[in-house]
Amino acid sequence: MSDALIEILRWASVAVFAAPLLVLAIGRARGARVAAHRGAAARAPVVANFAAFSVFFPALVLFRADPEGLAALLMAATGCLLAAGGAVVLLRSRRELGAAWSLVPTADAATGLVTTGPYRVVRHPIYLSFFVLTAGDTLAFASWPALVVMLGAIMPSFFWRASREEDVLRQTFGERYELYRRQTRMIIPYLL
């Protein structure tokens, strides 16, 4: 029974990861901007994100630990809860952005600089939520290769993406963004 529960929790953590992505995709289909006019340089970090995840999920599933005992159950349950927390932050952050959200770095004075909700705590809460989601899935599956992909590809690609967004926001909002940047951490509250 314990092995079945562990597998259920593991796959629930993946479903929790997929649910907000589906919501984001629906939001994009309903008119969120893609900013194709920005060119390949703006899309490169997004492509890197997708490439990292295309390696992460197979590593997660193919190289997972065998579900054995209480430790595996606790890891699966904790990972599933961590993924759920990341999903909540992701959805809350996306909702806070509203019309300002886009798949590639873009900013518009008409939509304004969003500094409310999760954006009061960090400048890139959606990327923080992806870190938490992938950490939760990695823990749930107890996959060392997935951890390596998370640390070596997913996190750097999101930091790259965040730095590109910061350039666009700095160009659009100038001193107002610089003040916000000085007052608010980039991705990890109180640290980074």
Average pLDDT of 3-14?
92
- 14: nearest Cα among 146, 128, 104: 146
Helix H or strand E segment including 163: helix 155-173
Q: What percent of the chain has pLDDT over 70?
A: 91
Kindly state the tokens that stand for 111: 């939509």
- pLDDT, tens digit, for every residue of 112-158? 899 999 999 999 999 999 999 999 999 999 999 999 999 999 999 99
Contact (Cβ atoms closer than 8 angstroms) between residue 103 and residue 38: no
Across the chain, mean pLDDT equals 88
Torsion sign across C-alpha atoms 93, 130, 188, 172:
negative
Q: Is the pLDDT of residue 38 over 70?
A: no
pTM: 0.88
Go through the domains of the chain in sequence order and give each one's CATH number: 2-183 (1.20.120.1630)
Which segments of 98-124 does DSSP mark as H helices, in order? none
